[in-house]
Structure 1
Amino acid sequence: MLLAQHDVFLRLFHDAKREAFHLEVQDTYDTPEESEPFRKFITNEHDDYEWFQPWLDHVRETTSRGVAVLRARVVSEPHTDYTRFSKAVARFNVEAGEDVRYLPRNLVNADELTRDDWWLFDDTVLGFTVFEPSGRWAGAAVTTDPHIVEYAREVKERVWGKAIPLKDYADQ
């Protein structure tokens, strides 16, 4: 596996021709770049979301080339504070062109998931999300091993088929 960081990771989106799919399976993330926005959310303070713009610009560029950006979040209910935060921010993902969906954890067997988050590009390139002990995103451990990629593709199909689009899930 190759650790893809920064521009090398973003190149995976540029090289994608059809789809970039992201599976998130944790209920809480402790990434330093989100700590202040998360604090503002919890304390109901104003946030201009400027910190989120680079990602949103990246999504707009990717989707403008006809590449779908899909995100499935497997979440516990009742929601953690972090899930409430990410659900509130997800409207910006959707406005930028992502298709964001939620799957309540009780609707999927844990054995049908992976323990790690990952990105799957065009069903051929898989990047497992890597976090430093501090919680900071460190990149993606990338593989094209056909057995591992096929397993991830099967998980994607199971999850995506059951996941609820943000607009419908937000009404719950």
Structure 2
Amino acid sequence: MELRQSNPWPDLFRDTQRSAFHMEVRDSYGVPGESEPLRRFLSGEARSEEPDESWQAWASLVRGCTARGVTVSRIRVVTVPHSDYQRWLLTETRDNIDAGEDIRYLPRHLVGADQVPADDFWLFDDAAVAFNLVDAEGKPAGAGITTDPSIAAYCRRSKERLWSLATPFDKYDDPAETYPR
């Protein structure tokens, strides 16, 4: 496994030919650029009309991929009721969709714990896996990247198994009503 502590994502996305898939399994993240928008959301303040520089770079990366015919998708496995972070993220997800991502949500209680991977990962072209690394505070710390066929196969199976169970963002309105306990 190769450790990349800097920002490996632009290179990984530019090298991708067919697909980039993200499995998200955490209920909150400590992304520094998200702390102020999250604070505003929790305080009931209006959303900023100007996207920050890191968001613009991400959207540009996704648009570049989709313009080349690369599919960019993700599943968010979430706890219901949602954490504050996930409630905020639901208000931001439309921007990802508009940039070209296909995002689906899967309430954690609908699948067995053994069916959900323990770690977030990106799967590129069904062959390369980049595990999201975070520090003790949940802040991004790079990626552990592998092309090990057995690890890639495990990630592909996880994607295939959970994709059909997950709900597309546009149909994921009120999880408390849609997925009663």
* TM-score bucket (shorter structure): over 0.9
What does residue 178 of structure 2 align with? none
**TM-score, reference length from structure 2:** 0.89
Q: How many residues are paired up?
A: 172
**3-state SS of the aligned residue for 2:89?**
helix
Verify: 1:94 aligned to 2:94, yes or no. Answer: no
CA shift in 2, pair 1:94/1:85, >3 Å: same
Kindly, what percent of the aligned residue pairs are identical? 48
Q: CA deviation at 1:135?
A: 2.6
**3-state SS of the aligned residue for 1:50?**
coil
Structure 1 runs not aligned, ≥5 long: none
What does residue 4 of structure 1 align with? 4
Name the amino acid aligned to 1:50. Answer: P
What does residue 120 of structure 2 align with? 117
What does residue 130 of structure 1 align with? 133
Superposition map of 1:19-168 within 5 A: 19-46=19-46, 47-51=48-52, 52-168=55-171
Aligned residues of 1:28 and 1:83 also touching (Cα < 8 A)? yes
Structure 2 runs not aligned, ≥5 long: 176-181
**TM-score, reference length from structure 1:** 0.94
**3-state SS of the aligned residue for 1:170?**
coil
Name the amino acid aligned to 1:108. Answer: V
Name the amino acid aligned to 1:155. Answer: S
Q: CA deviation at 1:28?
A: 1.2
CA shift in 2, pair 1:57/1:157, >3 Å: same
RMSD of the TM alignment (CA)? 1.4
